[in-house]
Amino acid sequence: MVEKKKIYFASDFHLGVPTYEKSREREARLVRWLDSIKDDAAELYLVGDIFDFWFEYATAVPKGFVRFLGKLAELADHGTRITFFKGNHDMWMFGYLEQELGAKIIADELIIERQGKRFYLHHGDGLGPGDAKYKFLKKFFRSKFCQWLFARVHPNLGIGIALRWSQNSRIVNNKKEWRKEAEQEWLVVYSREVLKKEHFDYLVFGHRHLPLDIEVGPNSRYINLGEWVNYNSYAVFDGTHLELKTFEG
């Protein structure tokens, strides 16, 4: 048996779009990836937008993703600790994944320390300068009133509306992301602001849809995990270093 000591980070799978067939192809790839890490993954951090839409009704959840969820259950049963972050597409997670997978659900940031290295983790939405409209919508969508109101809508209608809304997303329209100068990368700006208050070795985010590894201070790096429509990118911490990698080329 290989000792489970590595920590894996991934985000922005956007399962469910742009079509059922494309989503199933991505799900199969994710299952192969999870199968490849199951023997050495002590922890797995899924840093938001794992599903393109997710809402837990009292007695129903969105259809699909059974192979992916089943593989996560297998990892959990074999000792891998799983943490889900709420993204801007799947913020309506409540208790289902905690109950079924023993997963921990994180709404905003999480600070951890492993092997003497400090990590700041966040999906990345609503941070940094600008984007006032989304920041307002995020507060509304996360409000108890909005969640109560949506829960009154029948799943057939509610999930249907949400999936139609998704057709305007960057992933569905395959909007190509380009790296900007560091001063224009809003999560780089945000990371540097965080580092003014306390030190972190790694500041790890999703949401940007572009794998990035940028030095943001002395012995501090900003890592963006990218996404799995174009890049199949993830990060792994081996106890000494955090490294961005790509699965299946």
- The amino acid present at 200, given as its one-letter code, is F
Contacts of residue 236, Cβ cutoff 8 Å, sequence gap at least 6: 6, 7, 8, 9, 37, 242, 243, 245
**Considering just the CA atoms, what is the radius of gyration of the chain in Å?**
18
Query: What value, to the nearest 5°, has the Cα angle with vertex 111 and ends 105 and 113?
Result: 115
In this prediction, residue 213 has a pLDDT band, given cuts at 50, 70 and 90, of very high
The 10s digit of each residue's pLDDT in 117-162 is: 999 999 998 787 666 766 767 777 777 887 777 777 887 777 777 6
Average pLDDT over residues 161-168: 68
Cα atoms found within 13 Å of the Cα of residue 178, Cβ hemisphere only? 3
pTM above 0.95, yes or no: no
The 10s digit of each residue's pLDDT in 169-203 is: 666 556 667 667 667 788 999 999 999 999 999 99
- The amino acid present at 61, given as its one-letter code, is V
